[in-house]
Amino acid sequence: MGAIQNLYHNRHQLINGTLGLLVVMAFWYWADRMVANESFFVGPWKVLQTTVSLFTTGTIYPHLKTSGWEFLMGYGIAAMIGISLGMAFGMSKLVREFLDPWLGGLYATPTVALAPLIIIWFGIELTPKIIIVLLTAVIDIIINTYTGVINVGQEFRTLGMAFCVPKHQMGVKILLPGSLPYIVTGLRLATSRAIVGVVVAEYFGSSEGLGWLLFKALDTYNMPLMISCASLLAGTGIVLNQAILAVEKRMAPWRDTKLQE
Amino acid sequence: MGKTPPGRLTDRQDSAFSGWIKAAYRENRMLLHGIFSVALGLLLWEIIDRWFNDKYFFTGPDEVIREFIHLVREGEIWIHLRYSALEGLYGFTLAATAGVLFGTMLAFSRTLDEMSSPILIGLYATPRPVVAPLFIVWLGLGVASKVAVIFIASFFPVAINTTAGIKNVESEFRMLGRAFQVSPWAMFTKIIIPGSLPFLIAGLRLGYSRAIVTIMVAEMFGSEAGLGYMIVHATQVFDIPKMMVGISMLTLWGILGNEALKLVERRATPYKQTLGI
């Protein structure tokens, strides 16, 4: 008895977490049994079967490739532009004064609403999708980098000034490393936004991709396919989020990263 | 908009001989540059429009305003505005209430918190467009399915931030309360609520911005009316001014709500340093 208590005491987080997941799974299974209508609701077992068969028959690979490419390109460019612009905002007063209204506006705009416009301008090839992903993801990176630069300790700046460090070196050697934890937070928040961007972009004109597969499933009332697509996209979001969170905890263990937004 | 960051060396010494225009310029530098920048942007927009001169491809600010007036006169826009506002209001209010209650519950029960944390984190990271089709199949094309999706989108940031806020109330304040033997009620209303307010409001702001995005996303998948519906349908007939009116309305809601919550934030937590966005 003592051993079990001990085990619970040491691993209570893991045990309770697993318990919670099991409760949800059991509820899901039970709900499926109660509804018993496959075009309306499907259980966890059926979803797993569908997902496995998507992989074994190989139908999923072209979709994964298309969506993955859109995500990587859009997110990569967003990271480059976002970090540079964020640094510019943090370092230059002129940039701040001139671009602040635009940043505020972009922050408040639901960027997914711009998707149809971008499709009209750039067609239905890869480019407009990359731009949509870029637009949805970039704002979090800009704002977090900006916050990071502003929050770099005054003593480091003073040190740099005392040694007459030129401005570009101040940026690269002091402000960039100092704001790195914030930048990583921005990159993490941007992953989930970028996935939203991928799905929305594929809605407005494409013939391939996970988002497209999701809409096709909706059109044909293919519930198992719909839920397994949704789970794949959600799973990607969760894995990326947790992976970057781990990096964040390594870089700045003193910050409670759960709260940053 | 933003606060001046530390490290800026001010040059105030020449204010004695500079005229009041110069002084006024310096006082309102931020505002003036902002207005100038926005005006420049609008001008550029109009020039690009004149250059393309193709109303099925690009549209200038004047046409957007004309289209807006037209839609108001015809009364069509009111249907969409009402529909989307209803969805957003129901969804966000429900999510905020439930999120705060649930978050508070989790903050006071460790077991419950640990049990639900993998699920909360998972659903928090789930992209919202993914759940929209499911709810449309379950609840139909009407308001109910959108309210559900908006609820899902804004519930998690509110709940997570509430829990974090309550847990982060400095333990010295709690100890002070205990030392003075305050009642649990007073402890909650006088110490824990004010202490967790900054996080709570941050959660509400995040939830609000997610709700606005989700209005668009949820209506995209199938709806009877609404701003997102209007945008998608305008796209299909290449009616760009109408599309821009829809986008501007959603943006306006985003800005207004964000500003209102920022005002609340400043009132409730005047000591907190914010970026101003």
Distance linking the first and last C-alpha atoms of chain A? 43
For residue B249, is pLDDT > 60?
yes
Q: At how many degrees (to 10) do helices A93-108 and B240-268 cross? A: 110
**Residue B40: is it exposed, middle or buried by C-beta count within 10 angstroms (0-12/13-18/19+)?**
exposed
Nearest chain A residue to B1 by CA distance is: A100
Contact assessment for residue B248 and residue A118, using Cβ atoms and an 8 Å cutoff: no
Each residue of A229-257: pLDDT tens digit?
Answer: 988 988 888 889 888 888 888 877 666 54
Mean pLDDT throughout B176-183? 86
Q: Which amino acid is at A255?
A: R
- What pLDDT sits at residue A260? 41
Lowest-confidence segment of A89-103, A143-157, B24-38, B132-146 by average pLDDT: B24-38
- What pLDDT sits at residue B2? 44
Confidence at B272, pLDDT banded by 50, 70, 90: low
* Alpha-carbon span B127 to B17, nearest angstrom: 58
Mean pLDDT score across all residues of chain A? 85
Q: Does B33 touch chain A (CB under 8 A)?
A: yes
* Alpha-carbon span B12 to B154, nearest angstrom: 46
- What pLDDT sits at residue B24? 77
For residue A174, is pLDDT > 90?
no
Prediction ipTM score:
0.79
Nearest CA distance, B189 vs chain A (angstrom): 22
- What pLDDT sits at residue B84? 93
Each residue of A24-78: pLDDT tens digit?
Answer: 888 888 888 888 777 778 888 888 998 999 999 988 899 999 999 999 999 999 9
Confidence at A259, pLDDT banded by 50, 70, 90: very low
* Alpha-carbon span A90 to A78, nearest angstrom: 18
A97 Cβ partners below 8 Å, 6+ apart?
B29, B30, B33, B34, B37
Q: Which residue has the tokens 């931030």?
A: B161
For residue B38, is pLDDT > 50?
yes
Each residue of B96-143: pLDDT tens digit?
Answer: 999 999 999 998 888 888 888 888 877 877 777 788 888 888 898 888
* Alpha-carbon span A83 to A176, nearest angstrom: 9
How far, in Å, are B119, B159, B218 from residue A15 at the CA level?
14, 22, 36
Confidence at A8, pLDDT banded by 50, 70, 90: confident
Mean pLDDT throughout B160-176? 82
Mean pLDDT throughout B83-92? 93
Nearest CA distance, B29 vs chain A (angstrom): 8
Mean pLDDT throughout A79-101? 89
A39 Cβ partners below 8 Å, 6+ apart?
A221, A223
User: Which of B127, B215, B277 minimises the CB distance to A234?
Assistant: B127
- Please compute, for residue B253, the number of CA atoms within 13 A of its CA located in the half-sphere on the CB side: 24
Confidence at A150, pLDDT banded by 50, 70, 90: confident
Query: What does the DSSP 8-state code read for residue B5?
Result: P
Mean pLDDT score across all residues of chain B? 83
DSSP conformation letters of A106-160: HHHS-GGGGHHHHHHHH-SSHHHHHHHHHHHHHHHHHHHHHHHHHTS-HHHHHHH
Confidence at A137, pLDDT banded by 50, 70, 90: very high
**Residue A163: is it exposed, middle or buried by C-beta count within 10 angstroms (0-12/13-18/19+)?**
exposed
Mean pLDDT throughout A180-208? 87
Lowest-confidence segment of A180-189, B124-133, B207-216 by average pLDDT: B124-133
Mean pLDDT throughout B253-275? 78
Confidence at A1, pLDDT banded by 50, 70, 90: low
Confidence at A129, pLDDT banded by 50, 70, 90: very high
Cβ A16–B228 below 8 Å, yes or no?
A: no
A23 Cβ partners below 8 Å, 6+ apart?
B115
Confidence at B206, pLDDT banded by 50, 70, 90: confident
Mean pLDDT throughout A190-216? 87
For residue B219, is pLDDT > 60?
yes
CB proximity under 8 Å: A 180-219 to B = 192, 195-196, 199-200, 203-204, 211, 214-215, 217-218
Cβ A226–B244 below 8 Å, yes or no?
A: no
Confidence at B148, pLDDT banded by 50, 70, 90: very high
Q: Testing the interface with B: which of A102, A141, A150 to mutate, by most B Cβ within 10 A?
A: A150
Confidence at B276, pLDDT banded by 50, 70, 90: low
**If phi over 0 gives left and psi between -120 and 50 gives alpha, with beta otherwise, what is residue B18?**
beta
Q: Does A97 touch chain B (CB under 8 A)?
A: yes
Cβ B243–A102 below 8 Å, yes or no?
A: no
Mean pLDDT throughout A158-170? 85
* Alpha-carbon span A46 to A33, nearest angstrom: 12
Helix (H, G, I), strand (E, B) or coil at B168: coil
Confidence at B230, pLDDT banded by 50, 70, 90: very high
* Alpha-carbon span A11 to A21, nearest angstrom: 16
